[in-house]
Amino acid sequence: MATPVPVLDPQVSIIVPARNEEALLPACLGSLASQASIRFEIIVVDDASTDRTREIAASIPGVRVLEAGPLPPGWTGKNNAVVTGARDAKGKWLLFTDADTVHRPGSLARAVAEAESNHVDLLSYSPEQEVRGFWERAIMPVIFAELARRYPPHQVSDDSKNLAAANGQYLLISRIAYDKVGGHTAIAQSLLEDVALARALRNASLRIRFRYGGDAVRTRMYRGFRQLREGWTKNLILLFPNAVSLALLRLLEFLFVIACLTIGIFTIVTSDGRHSVIFFIPLVLTLMRIATAHFSWSSNVLAIFGLPVFSYLLLRSKLRHARGAVSWKGRTYSGTPGIKPVS
C-alpha cells in the first residue's frame, strides 16, 4: 500500500466520519491511502467512539484524526462530524465518504476528472452493494430498485429537472459550492443529509451528477437484519413520503406474484401446461424492475420474498418517526419534522 504524503495544497480533502468503526476502518483507509495520480489528504473524524476507531485511524501514515466534539443541540451526529472535518480541510474538492466503503484503485483521480469534465459542482456515486445472508440479499435489491425508480440518476443529473439526490457514501463536492450552500451546517438537523445537501445545491442552481458507481466504490451497508432494520427505519420515510401506499403496493405485488406462481405450477402439474406461461409474467416483470438495482440474479430472485419485508420497514419507519423514536449509532432522534437528539 502506498503511503500518502502530506501535501500543502491537496486537490481533494477526504473526510471520513467514524463512530465505532474499528472493524471497517482498515479496509476503507487502506483503499483511500493507496489512491494515486492526485494530491489528497485524509481526515478521519472520530465521533465519540468507544472502541479502537481513533487508534486504528491514527496508526495509518498520512491520516489526520480529529475529534468531533460535543453534539450541538438539534444536530445529528454525522453532520456534526463532517462539519468538523470540512472546517479543517484544505482541498479544492471535498470527498465525504463512509467508513464502510472500499475504494477501487485510481477511483479518486477519475472521479475528480469526471466532475471537472462534466462541469458539475457535486458528483455522487451509488456504490456497488455487497450483500450476505438471506435478509441482506432479499431486502437490499428491493430498496435500491425502489430508489432507482424514485430517483432516476439520469433525471437527477438533468439540470432542467427539479429532482435532487445523492448518496452520502460517496459525495464529491467542490469547496466553493459547499460553502455557497452553507455545507452540512445548513442541514444540521437532517437525518438524510446526502439528499438534503443535493437539494440545497439544486435550489442554488448548482450542477449535480449522480450515477451508479460500482466501478469506483463498493460497500456493505449493513451486517445482518437488526442493523439493516435500524438503518432503513431511519431513512425510508424520508426517502419515500408515500410510505403507506407504497407499502400496500409492494405487499399486493408480492401476493399477486405468489398467487400467479402457484396457479402456474399447478397448471403445469395437472395439465399440459400450454397456457401456464401467462402466470409467470408477473414474476418476470417484477424481476426486471428489481434488476435495475445492480444486484446478482440470485439476489434478485430472493428479493421476491423481500417485498413484504420492505412494506414492513416502510411502515416501521413512518411509525418510529411519528413517535420520535429513531435510533442510529447509539443515539435516538425525535423524528421528523424538527429532528433533535434526545439521547
- Out of 50-59, 165-174, 228-237, 322-331, pick the least confident: 322-331
Look at strands 101-103 and 93-97 and give their pairing. Answer: unpaired
Question: Does residue 159 sit within a domain?
Answer: no
Same domain, 175 and 314: no
Residue 341 backbone class (left: φ over 0; alpha: ψ -120 to 50; beta: rest):
beta
pLDDT for position 46: 96
What is the DSSP code (8-state) at residue 341? B
Same domain, 106 and 212: yes
Same domain, 44 and 90: yes
Distances in Å between the alpha carbon of 113 and those of 2, 30, 97, 243, 332? 21, 22, 18, 38, 39
Strand partners, 65: 44
Residue 339 pLDDT exceeds 50: no
Gyration radius from the chain CA atoms: 21
Residue with cell 439493516: 228
Q: What is the pLDDT of residues 182-209, one digit of tens each?
A: 999 999 999 999 999 999 999 999 999 9
Q: What is the pLDDT of residues 224-280, one digit of tens each?
A: 999 999 999 999 999 999 999 999 999 999 999 999 999 999 888 887 667 788 999
Crossing angle for the helix pair 307-323 and 225-239, to the nearest 10 degrees: 70
Question: Does residue 148 sit within a domain?
Answer: no
What is the DSSP code (8-state) at residue 191? S
Residue 167 pLDDT exceeds 70: yes
Same domain, 178 and 264: no
Instruction: Please say which residue of 158, 190, 223 terminates a domain.
Output: 223
pLDDT for position 227: 93
Residue 338 pLDDT exceeds 50: no
pLDDT for position 4: 46
What is the DSSP code (8-state) at residue 181? T
What proportion of the chain, given as a percentage, has pLDDT over 70? 94
Same domain, 177 and 307: no
pLDDT for position 341: 39
Mean of the per-residue pLDDT values of the chain: 92
Residue 327 belongs to domain spanning: 243-333
> What 3-state DSSP class applies to 269?
helix
Question: Does residue 151 sit within a domain?
Answer: no
pLDDT for position 272: 67
211: CB partners within 8 A, 6+ apart: 125, 126, 153, 157
Question: Does residue 308 sit within a domain?
Answer: yes
pLDDT for position 5: 46
Question: Does residue 265 sit within a domain?
Answer: yes
With residue 202 as reference, give the H or E element that holds it: helix 193-203
pLDDT for position 267: 87
Confidence class for position 69, pLDDT limits 50, 70, 90? confident
Q: What is the pLDDT of residues 83-121, one digit of tens each?
A: 999 999 999 999 999 999 999 999 999 999 999 999 999
Same domain, 196 and 291: no
Give the CATH number of the domain where residue 113 resides: 3.90.550.10
Question: Does residue 272 sit within a domain?
Answer: yes
Same domain, 325 and 199: no
Greatest alpha-carbon pair distance for the chain in Å reads: 76
Instruction: Please say which residue of 223, 258, 293 terminates a domain.
Output: 223
pLDDT for position 323: 87
C-alpha–C-alpha distance, residues 279 and 19, integer Å: 49
Residue 342 pLDDT exceeds 50: no
C-alpha–C-alpha distance, residues 61 and 128, integer Å: 27
> What 3-state DSSP class applies to 114?
helix
Confidence class for position 333, pLDDT limits 50, 70, 90? confident
pLDDT for position 84: 97
Same domain, 188 and 92: yes
C-alpha–C-alpha distance, residues 192 and 174, integer Å: 20
pLDDT for position 336: 56
In the numeric block, which cell numbers belong to residue 96? 465525504
C-alpha–C-alpha distance, residues 146 and 125, integer Å: 17
Same domain, 202 and 322: no
C-alpha–C-alpha distance, residues 155 and 242, integer Å: 20
Same domain, 82 and 34: yes
> What 3-state DSSP class applies to 10?
coil
Question: Does residue 234 sit within a domain?
Answer: no
Question: Does residue 138 sit within a domain?
Answer: no
121: CB partners within 8 A, 6+ apart: 173, 174, 176, 177, 201, 206, 207, 208
Same domain, 267 and 322: yes
Question: Among 175, 170, 179, 184, which Cα is nearest to 91's?
Answer: 175
How many domains are there within the chain? Answer: 2
Same domain, 319 and 177: no
